[in-house]
Amino acid sequence: MIDTHAHILYDLDDGPAALEDALQMLRHAEMEGITDITATPHARHPQFNATKEAIYQRLLKLEKEIKNAGISVKLHPGHEVRVTDDIIERFDRGEFLTLAGSKYLLLELPSSGIPGNTTSVIHDLLSRDILPVIVHPERNRAILDKPSRLAKLINHGALAQVTAGSLAGKFGTDVRDIALQLIDANLIHLYGSDAHDLKKRNFFFDKGLSFLEKRGHADCVDILLENNARVLEHRDLVVLEPADPTPKKRWFIFG
């Protein structure tokens, strides 16, 4: 299986602090059946801004240690880019890494809401043949309050990635329920762990997939894993027609 979003590079952001922490995470990922991980440190985050050069340097060091440790997980470069006013200017300067050199770029919204320039950022990236992927939309307060807000971004051309821990219930039942609601509406296209450590922000890859299967979404599991593979292959994703994510009202007749 392929993980398209993890903070696995040590001492770059809020992921693992040291080399041994990263190796322990990789051993755990291997046990979960993960074969490939796209390493996606934060860029333009208020607290973290891993440069492209720093990512390549740390990736080379970690790959060497992975080989020495006999770990079979393969790493790929990437970024998780916070939406800011100057994101397009910085993209044009070559500051950001897409997922494994593909046309897919992870975009992070502030947890509190959706910036006013998000739609224009989507259009600007699309005009540059880059497909923006909104990460963990189920954890965004504005989308939690009104899921149709994600539908609008998808209709403008964005894609979206759900977090495994959200489906595993690690962020609460509200987040889990919204995640399932977005999946039911065909608004989710990729699956990522967003792993940061082995405690609160573990991979939860199997648990998230198991939840979907138990809820009768085995076909969705297949599509998400297929799309994760297509990212590394630089292929178009399987994208289903989006639907209205608003829960249907249920009418009751009394008497």
Give the SS3 label for residue 159. strand
CA atoms within 13 A of residue 224's CA, in its CB half-sphere = 28
Q: Measure the CA–CA gap between 133 and 158, rounded to whole angstroms.
A: 6
Give the SS3 label for residue 146. coil
CATH number of 2-232: 3.20.20.140
The token pair at 241 is 């027609």
pLDDT per residue rounded down to tens, the chain (255 residues):
999 999 999 999 999 999 999 999 999 999 999 999 999 999 999 999 999 999 999 999 999 999 999 999 999 999 999 999 999 999 999 999 999 999 999 999 999 999 999 999 999 999 999 999 999 999 999 999 999 999 999 999 999 999 999 999 999 999 999 999 999 999 999 999 999 999 889 999 999 999 999 999 999 999 999 999 999 999 999 999 998 887 544 333 333
> Is the Cα torsion angle 29, 232, 207, 141 positive or negative in sign?
positive
Domain boundaries along the sequence of the chain: 2-232
The token pair at 169 is 């219930």
* Sheet arrangement for strand 74-77: 2-6, 36-39, 74-77
- At residue 252, the pLDDT reads 35
SS3 content of the chain, % helix, strand, coil (to 5): 40, 15, 45
